[in-house]
A = this chain, B = another copy of it.
Amino acid sequence: MNPSVRSLDLLRSSGLRITPQRLAVFESIAGLDHPAVDEIYDHLRHSHPGMSVATVYNTVERLVQEGLVRVIMVEGKRRYDLRLDHHDHLLCQVCHRLEDCPDDCPSAGMTVPQEFLVKGQTWQINQHTVILEGVCPQCMNSQP
């Protein structure tokens, strides 16, 4: 699959050097569904022999720094997402699939103030994470 112009543009606009590895990692995140590093690495094994896991870790970290992708910590593993706006996630406890919560999600409307008073003292809130855990439709069907 050729790198999309969009990927190239995004990478370039961030000022990062364009390397085949970076392009590949970026497009993997776009193509896979909330992948973790090992999934990205496995995905690229055949198309990019010689690619190192360390490079995947590096790249993914740079992409996060540049604000091109987002991390979601799930089950002790970092997973990566191209969507940058806040949204909640659905996690399948069986197959570990992670999916974006649709906008009519019960938690989607929740707003969190930037400051929050707890026991008379102020917390500054920077972000919040909502994960709904359960069983996805596929796993529901295969193991009733």
Contact = CB atoms under 8 A, between A and B. Distances in A.
Interface of A: 73-78, 90, 92-93, 99, 101-102, 105-107, 110-113, 116, 118-119, 121-137, 140
Contacts of A121: 137
Copies in the assembly, this chain? 2
Nearest to A105: B116
A134 B129 contact: no
Chief secondary structure at chain A's binding surface: strand
B129 A107 contact: no
Contact of A123 (B73, B90, B113): B90
B134 A124 contact: yes
Nearest to A100: B118
